[in-house]
Structure formats: structure tokens, C-alpha cells
Amino acid sequence: MLDMKEFRERKERQAELQRAADLKGIDFTVAALVAADEERRALLMEAERLRQSRNKHTEEISRIMREGRKDQAEAVKQQVKMINERLVLIEEQLRGAETEWTRLMLLAPNTVSPDTPEGRSDEDNVEVKKAGEPPAFGFDPKDHVELGELHGLLDIPRGVKTAGTRNYYLTGNGVLLHRAVQQLALDLLVKKGFILYDVPLMVRTEAMNNTAFFPLGQDQTFRIDGEDKWLAGTSEVSLVSYYGGEIVDVTEPLRLAAASLCFRSEIGSAGRDVRGLYRVHQFAKVEQVVLCEADTEVSERLHQEITANAEELLQLLQLPYRIMAVCTGDMSQKTYKQYDIETWMPSRGAYGETHSSSNLLDFQARRSNIRYRDKDGKLQYCHTLNNTAVASPRILIPLLENHQQEDGSITIPKALRPYLNGLERLTV
């Protein structure tokens, strides 16, 4: 959400915004917003002028009536009637102008950081770090579906039978692995000072708008029929909305985390990643959300911190990964700077995205109206950040595939064993 005063006064800000929209591929023009803003403000001024005039004439009628000049009072009443008719028309125009202005404001993107690479798609993302080496198998490795079926960890055909495409069952040790990676992530975050929340999975349209998942992400979201509620695709929505409309204390950054079910419609992904657990409608995610003061150096430091938390989780899982600086064309409307973490998936012969880490500056807090008092007591909007600590079952793909052995067994990383009653290996 824009600071409209700054937007009006600084022409360079308008150029920045148009550049961000163009680079992100958002159908938005600054000229249209400027025109809508000018029309809205002009109509507001006209409506206020008419109300003042009406009030003045109403007072005049009372005075004239007390003086017994009824004929003059009737003439002024006619003037008031004409003002009211004009005001009704102006207020109707104002409602339309405000609707258009709000629509454009909700489409306006966040700007992008100076170090964000330019590009049109994920193919233009830039590798900034690589950790670990992909395993060199001396045998033909199985993919996660074959391994899952071999060990009774999943059942995709019955998932499709029950719920349609991109659905699945996890079974037996598959469920335990799924829960183990989440608990490992939660325990890691608690040690780092995060407060845990169990959050609503159904949220109102207002919450989706305020966190900038709507209007552009509406086609990715499942709606509850007949209600103003949606199934959230990430607990980020609920975690940020927790403080919506409030004044908070960010003397120390607020670190929030949640493990929740998430739902995405995957519109536009027909034919992509149809095999296995990579792209599904329902999954679980441990999310990090941070609120801090409006200082770019502070939020940049925290961006590196939450990204490092996800890295630490992958290191505990003994998985090779790389960090990608996400380019402008692959970023969402709300994002100022973003890293994706991709983990090596042998069945793909490539790295696959498993984590996303974003700095939003004050874009989300403005829409959600989350503020704090600075050292001078002045109200400022917070910066917000978010990161996937782990998402499952997608993380099970590299976990199973990278740790498989020639005999079909799967080694359990040491960090997970305490969550699996000491189990060291899955055997056939």
C-alpha cells in the first residue's frame, strides 16, 4: 500500500512504482492512479463544500423563521433542496471514484531492492550460494513415489480417488516423517526466540487483501462457498493479521511462527509436476514471520537471519541446496526482495524450490495498519518479513531420494531420529 502523500509529492517515486509494475508484469499504470486520486480528492472537496453550504443555509433558515420571515425561509429551503440534490449526485460519483481508487491502490506493487536481478521468470533467478554436493549413486536411484510405495509411506491413487488430482495419503512412517520435519523446524525456531501460534486456516477477504495476497492471488485460493472466508495458502496471512490495526512494540523484532495446513488451487499449473508430491493442493508449512522497525538495514539483517534459519534446517536434514536471488519477473506484487532456496532432487536431476524468504518493507503493514512508535514517539509502519522454515510433503522428495541406499533402504538423518523413536533407517 502506498504512502499517497509521498507518492503525490515525489515524481521519482511515481517512476519507481511504474518500473516495479512493469518489471513484475502487473497490469497497472501510475497515470491511472494519479487521475483516480485527483478525481477522488476533487469530489471530496466538492462534497465537503456542499455540506458546509447546506449547514450554513440550514442555520440561516432557523434564524429567518425566528424573525417571522417565512417567504424568505421558503426561498432558502429551495436552495437547500438544490444543494441536497447536487450532493446526492456528487456522493454517488465519489463512491465510484473511491472504488476505482481503491482498486488501483490494491494493484500498486511494492518497489524492488537495488540488488534484485531483473528478469522475466524463474529461469532468470541468480544463484548466490550453493551448499552440499548432490549424491553420486552407484545404482539407478528411485524417485520419491517409488520409494514411498516401497516403504508404505504414501498412497497417491487413493488420494486421487478420494479428493481428485494433486491429492494424496501419507501412511505409516510417511506421516511420522511429515510430522518430524515440522517439529524439528518448530524446535529450531523456538530456540531462536520465535513465539509459536496455532492459527486460523480460514480467513476473511479483508485479511487476504491486507496481507497483499489479494486481489492478484485470488485465483490461487479456495473459497468457502456462501461465506466471506478463504482457505489460507500460508499461515503468513493469519500471523500478520494477528496484529492488524494495532500499535505494537518492536523495540525487539516480533518473531512469530506457526505450523499449519495450507491450501492452494494451483491454477495455471495444469500439466506441471503432476507426478508425486511436488505440487499438491494441501500441504503443511512451518512459517516464520517477523515484524520490525522501519529501518532497511534492520529488515535486511533479519532477512538474512530467517533465510539462515531455513538453511540450518536443510543442513540438519543433510540435504544439498542452493540459494537463488529471485528476479523481478518471478516476484509477487508485495515483495521488495526475495530469496528462494532450492533443494537437490535426484528424480528431477535438478534443484527444486522448497523455501521462499521475503522482505516486504512496510508494504504489508500499511495495508494491515500495523504501526509502532519510533524513538520520537511518532507512529510509523512496521517492516514485515516471512520465510518458509519447512514445507511438507514437498521436503519429503529430497529427504527420501537423497538418503536412499542401493538396497532400497533410506537413512534417517540424525537430527530426525529423536522424533522417530530413534529410528535410523527405513528398510523394506
* Catalytic residue IDs: 264, 279, 353, 356, 394
Helix/strand/coil for 238 = helix
Cell output for 315: 543442513
User: Phi, psi (5° rounding) for residue 264?
Assistant: -140, 140
Mind giving me the DSSP string for 265-304? --TT-TTSS-STTSS-SEEEEEEEEEEE-S-HHHHHHHHH
User: Phi, psi (5° rounding) for residue 362?
Assistant: -100, 10
Helix/strand/coil for 218 = helix
Residues in CB range of 191: below 8 A, 6 or more apart: none
Angle at 329 between CA 233 and CA 319, to 5 degrees: 60
Cβ atoms 223, 208 nearer than 8 A: no
Cell output for 174: 510417511
Cβ atoms 23, 112 nearer than 8 A: yes
Cell output for 310: 531455513
CA distance 244 to 79: 45
Cell output for 334: 508485495
Mind giving me the DSSP string for 383-398? EEEEEEEEEETTTHHH
How far, CA to CA in Å, does 45 sit from each of 9, 40, 52, 82, 397?
Answer: 19, 9, 11, 18, 60
CA distance 361 to 388: 18
